[in-house]
Amino acid sequence: MTLPLPDLAAEFAACLHTAVPPAASPPENPSANGARTGAGAAPANSGAIREVEFSAKGFHLDVTVGIDGVVSAAEFLDRKGFALDAITGVDWIGEQEMEVVYDFFHPAAPWRVVARTRIPRATPVVSSIAKVFPGANWHEREAHDFFGIVFSGHPQLEPLLLPEDATYHPLKKDFQP
Amino acid sequence: MFTLNLGPQHPATHGVLRVKMTMDGEYIRRAEPVPGYIHRMHEKMGENRTWAQYLPNTSRVDYLSAMHYTHAYVGVVERALGLKPPPRAEYIRVITSELNRISSHLVWLGAFLLDLGGFTPLLYAFDDREKILDLLEGITGARLTYCYYRFGGLCNDVDDTFVRGAQEFVAYMRPRLSMYQTLVTDNIILQKRLVGIGLITSEQCRKYGATGPVIRGSGVAYDVRRVEPYSVYPELDFDIPVFPEGDSMARYRVRMEEMAQSLRIIEQALARLPDGPVMAANVPRVLKLPAGDYCYAVEAARGRFMVRIVSDGGEVPYRVKLRTPSFSNLSLFEETSRGLLLPDAIALLGSLDLVIPDVDR
């Protein structure tokens, strides 16, 4: 039942290779506007799979996919029996990018996988994985509430935790209450 | 066909959850949970205070399971700093966490049976729970929102009164569990309300990320204490109760068995409790976490609680994400309640053991 981690990583890489062209453009320089931008803390889109030390990070595989690779990554992890842990965003305002982070755990094996992608902050659109994991429905609605990320193909992208008429996204770094 | 609103102020929803139900007579066509009534934006609060100042927030997310939540948060900060608490602190963390698990399950037991129309068990369960709250109040100063764990250890050591009290509690609680078995679990009315009703498959749990007693009541032995071992759990001997039926009764039985296992853990940890300091020596006064993201998960009373933090190297978190079990466990309610009778859906909702502030955060 349990697939060794290097095999999992290799299969994942093979699966993504067909779907993901490696992202080439390096992130722009962070703007120095005085706001906390988190510059330097974020890994860029590189189409890479890294094995990381669990005791230091809290997960085993760190996978960066292109914007188009999100659904195929979710489908691969679904085939391997992973369960959806959470979906969330990180606002990298200095680089004018929005990071979408997908956490997965395995109900029968000790693996933790993180998949992440970067989307432009001005047009934060990424495909929904609610068809693969129905549980993503709520997590994506929450990420839309908090960050304004638009999950295309989502069946019901309405506010979940915020009021139904909310037009603001409180976890954006430039949010003014 | 008509629409029925359950909540947001309704005794059966345990807090302010609203469920919008489309009914066909007594049968549910669609039951859509509408959360958010006590959303407090704890994740945003994390971005305007230091790592240490955020600690009390974590105990207020699931107020019945506060030890586990603070455990995950101090755990993730310790992971980022490479800090290791001394053994005595780890053992006391396990003892207090397991006491908290029992007190949380006792609230569930009383409230769940109240949902099903049995009032008396609530009084018994709260009586037992009171003993735990008194014990924990003695060492932490709080009855629910504990802030006892600190980065690198604990805020203070336990005394003999606590150790003796915990030993006495283990001896007291075992016969009480047998009594619950005879009086409640074997009760024919309870069996008729729960057996074969509110089915959740292991595949649904996986697709929705449901964890804790919900996934273990669907036949999957998933417990964070086993798969992502933390603290000194690997050194202690305990079983993971699993029931394959997937009905409300299976989830009921998992929690009842879990209380017995928690007593086993507490007993062993008390017997092995080492001497020594309860705080690591090298904890910096001003905390700056190395840039990057870190995760830490614990088995809370309701399932997998995971904290994901992002640091930019500063004294203040760049991002804190709280992945709470009630959120995922509730998200499968719409699918699993379809076609149920209304009273059976109430039993299903109760068997998920929801804490609404844990959904809304």
Residue A1: predicted pLDDT: 47
Number of A:B CB contacts under 8 A? 125
Torsion angle, CA of B187/B196/B331/B119, rounded to 10 degrees? -20
Query: To which residue do tokens 């659109």 refer?
Result: A125
Residue B12: predicted pLDDT: 59
List domains and CATH numbers for chain B. Answer: 2-360 (1.10.645.10)
Q: Which residues of B touch A59 (CB under 8 A)?
A: 295
Best A50, A54, A84 residue to mutate vs chain B (most B CBs within 10 Å): A84
ipTM of the prediction greater than 0.90, yes or no: no
Say whether pLDDT at A18 is over 80.
no
Measured CA angle at B145 (ends B144, B147), to 5 deg: 130
Q: What is the pLDDT of residues A58-73, one digit of tens each?
A: 888 888 888 888 888 8
Confidence band, pLDDT 50/70/90 cuts, at residue A47: low
Q: Does A135 touch chain B (CB under 8 A)?
A: yes
Average pLDDT over residues B197-202: 92
Residue B137: predicted pLDDT: 93
A42: Cα separation from own chain's centroid: 13
Q: Is A149 helix (H, G, I), strand (E, B) or coil?
A: coil
Average pLDDT over residues B40-66: 91
End-to-end alpha carbon distance in chain A: 50
DSSP B318: S
User: How crowded is residue B67: how many other Cβ atoms within 10 Å of its Cβ?
Assistant: 27
State how far residue B325 is from chain A, nearest Cα, in angstroms: 9
Residue B174: predicted pLDDT: 93
Judge contact between A129 and B3, C-beta under 8 A: no
Residue B256: predicted pLDDT: 93
Confidence band, pLDDT 50/70/90 cuts, at residue A21: very low
DSSP A69: G
Residue B301: predicted pLDDT: 92
Q: Does A101 touch chain B (CB under 8 A)?
A: yes
DSSP B177: H
The pTM (predicted TM-score) of the whole model is 0.88
**Is B215 in Cβ contact with A58 (below 8 Å)?**
no
Q: Which residues of A touch B203 (CB under 8 A)?
A: none
B93: Cα separation from own chain's centroid: 15
